[in-house]
A and B are shown apart, each in its own frame.
Chain A
Amino acid sequence: MVNLKINGEKITVEENISILEAAGKNKINIPTLCYLEGYDAIGACRVCMVEVKGAKTLTASCSTPVSEGMEIFTNSEKVRAARKNVVELLLSEHSGDCNYCERSGDCELRILASSLGVRENYFTGESLMNNIDDSTPALVRDSGKCIKCRRCITVCTGLQKVGAISPQYRGFKTSIGPAFAAGLDSVPCVQCGQCAAVCPVGAITEKSHIDQVWNALDDPEKYVVVQTAPAIRAALGECFDYEPGTRVTGKMVTALRKLKFDAVFDTNFAADLTILEEGTELLMRLKRTLVDKEQYILPQFTSCSPGWIKFAEYYFPEILPKISTCKSPQQMFGALAKTYYAAKAGISPDKMVVVSVMPCTAKKFEAQREEMNDSGERDVDFVLTTRELGKMIKSAGIDFQSLEDSEMDSPLGISSGAADIFANTGGVMEAAVRTVYEIVTGRSFPVKDLHVTSVAGLEGVKEASFKLENPVDSWKFLDGVELKVAVAHGLSNAAKVIEAVNSGKAIYHFIEIMTCPGGCIGGGGQPRMTDDKTRMARIKAIYEEDESKSLRKSHENPDVKKLYEEYLKKPLGEKSHKLLHTKYTKR
């Protein structure tokens, strides 16, 4: 332990942490525009400067470790003046009118400038040129607003191992972007939006679909259906000043009705359906491997996360045959809404508009993938992030906090707790295990609360195994088989698992991959800023949502059963194949 003083207060902290972290642990907030929890500090922004007694100059607290006897001042006159100066210099280059900026409400630079009392522009020199890159379906970048904090590079290269963007050129001309400052569509960006989630300013944002959705809602000819992903209910509240991890499912449904959506449905319904299709697919692959002695079709990888799919298409095309052919729940929902539901409700599919609310930016990319039109129309028309829905509710003048709870519409609105946990890393695996175990053995998964705790939580790669004993007659070949599963979140962890599988070092039957840290609850479209504490709070809320239901298993969802009886007939059947399954392309 190390003893030091911050602003005259004696504190004791562990060794080898930075001044910034030591201060944070003692409730002293040092502002910063570049620091990212969990990654090496790079000291790019210089906003976190503090005065250390005996040191000749001010020091960047994010990249200076604590030492015994240190005396630190985080708010001295010298510190305040220097910090203000740094922010003034950043603002002098920053090109953008806050009135017209997507981030004006939560821009870290603007808020910091205001709190430091910046009221004048002393440095009227050259400023950056606005240079908008909207070449991809999900993300918009404006290098004129960029302050070169490099958080986006840290997540793109470190967390996701994609490395789509880096600093280009030099000095004043430095810009953050793809090679030679080309458009984002020129590089293998997976559209996960983690860069947009950490950007302190308006330099990277999702491509907004808000206007298109308002237009659809205003059009009396259109029947507008909305689906909400499992992760929204644990995060949307943050847009309305609720603590992270506040469940707002009922209020969200009421708000969507007030926005005049014609039907409020749940992506969760399609998540339950995914489990039946993907679970059956897994069992078929097991049969083909163990009985028919086919090779190279296991392990089966999950396919819900569109960033992961794009990542595999770019970087690991050899494993594409091992990825489940199931569409993601968003796309299953869209295909069913414009066929099964449209017929049931007597609505022409070309008059129907399907809007998704997703924690994700890659879902915007996924919805416009060429092959996603099995209903005969574009299966999903528009995708809003959690943040965009929050904005729409505010702009409609809805007082979210005072809303009563209400229920989703039937038939695409009923879901099990197993569908809720799709939002968490390990959740798809747990949901699948609940169903597959029961199909194979005829018995309920014999674990307290039905939770597979070894694949839950924020560790990057997690494993579990289950012995299948005394199966029912049709699955006799699985008797005594130890089902081995793995779960990874963050694409750098996905890459580790794939490399272990490819080299033969690890043998699994089923692998869940989610693109974003923590799973969808940590998605690129979620309210900012998502740190590990926020992730854990949302994960906990999702498990509570699951536990609050009496319906906990996908195969028990009555409306899913009805869908099979009335329409699809059986998992992996002909209709399922057409509407619910897809294929992947090497990129």
Chain B
Amino acid sequence: MITEKTGQSQTEEELFQQLVNAINELKDKDGALIPILQSAQNLFGYLPEYVLKHISSTLNIPYSEVAGVVTFYSFFSTTPRGKNLLRVCLGTACYVRGGKEVLAAIKNELKIDIGETTGDKLFTLEIGRCFGACSLAPVVMINDEVFQRVKPARIRDLLNSFRNKDEMEEDHE
């Protein structure tokens, strides 16, 4: 079972059927590959190999090329991610305004490196290359939410708010 962001549980077959529908909708358009990959990533939370191979054969694009696109964009992931995706911006503006220190604080707090997921599957840490929020630098994006002018000292509080949220959800269930 994979839990989608909505909280609804769907079987892998159901997710795959949704992907098939998305592919059918998009496949005849130019440049369909990236929107289809985005849709797959949203559905599964990451891009499993069998999904990529299916996309490759349906769109008649070599698997090497599909993998080339997946590995080019940091948004795509081929490993399952944690419940919350942390993306620390290291674009130019964020970098000069302390993005690196923010990253170090997160690594220290979560005890994971870039690209890794915490043992409790709560957080995955990645770096981003500019979210277009340079005036708010340094920024950290957690899931779809942008946190502005983040300070290393505030990292623990920030992460705790997500930890608490998770506990509340579990109690609720």
Contacts and interface: CB of A to CB of B under 8 A. Distances in A.
B62 A180 contact: no
Given A157-B62, A180-B78, A166 B72 contact: no
B72 A179 contact: no
Interface stretch (A10-18, A167-175, A212-220): A167-175
B interface, over-half SS: helix
Contact of A166 (B52, B68, B78): B68
Quick one: which of A164, A165, A168 has the most chain B CB within 10 A? A168
Contacts of A163: 61-65
Contacts of B158: none
Contacts of A165: 64
B115 to A, nearest CB: 13
B64 A187 contact: yes
A187 B64 CA distance: 9
A164 B71 contact: no
A168 B62 contact: no
A169 B67 CA distance: 9
Nearest to A175: B71
B148 to A, nearest CB: 27
B130 interface: no
Interface string A304-318: 000000000000000
Interface residues of A, number: 15
A170 B64 contact: no
A178 interface: yes
Contacts of B66: 179
A314 to B, nearest CB: 12
Contacts of B67: 166, 168, 178-180
Interface string B103-120: 000000000000000000
Quick one: which of B63, B64, B67 has the most chain A CB within 10 A? B64
Contacts of B78: 180
Interface in B58-102: 61-68, 71-72, 78
B95 to A, nearest CB: 15
Given A166-B64, A179-B63, A180-B71, 4 more contacts: A157-B62, A163-B61, A163-B63, A187-B63
26 contacts: A157-B62, A157-B65, A162-B62, A163-B61, A163-B62, A163-B63, A163-B64, A163-B65, A164-B62, A164-B64, A166-B64, A166-B65, A166-B67, A166-B68, A169-B71, A170-B71, A177-B64, A178-B63, A179-B63, A179-B64, A179-B66, A179-B68, A180-B67, A180-B71, A180-B78, A187-B64
Interface of A: 157, 162-170, 177-180, 187
